[in-house]
Amino acid sequence: MTLGSLVIVLVMGLVIGIEYKLKYAMENIENVLKAGTETSISVANIATELAASSGEVNAASEEIAATSQEIHKKLWRHQMTYVK
């Protein structure tokens, strides 16, 4: 085997090794991107649920406030009837 052939074989082995590492790195990047996408979708779903829950909490809060005011008015009227 000549020196030229030996150099060619070594370079080809080096190229194959680099290709293998690039393939491995690309697979890892692909997995990270998939996980990131799934996480992003989950976070978006959680945010949507929180927004819906927030709306429900606000509605319940308004209802409680209105009921409290109504009870307060009734109690005040009731007390005023005894004051007269």
pLDDT digits (tens, 9 = 90+) for 18-31: 999 999 999 999 99
Which of 2-6, 17-21, 77-81 has maximum average pLDDT? 17-21
Residue 14 confidence (pLDDT): 94
- Interior CA angle at 73 toward 68 and 79, to 5°? 125
Residue 3, pLDDT > 90, answer no
The answer to whether the pTM exceeds 0.85 is: no
**Angstrom distance (rounded) from CA 3 to CA 58:** 81
Determine if residue 2 is left, alpha or beta; phi over 0 gives left, psi from -120 to 50 gives alpha, anything else beta: beta
**Angstrom distance (rounded) from CA 40 to CA 43:** 5
pLDDT digits (tens, 9 = 90+) for 49-71: 999 999 999 999 999 999 999 99
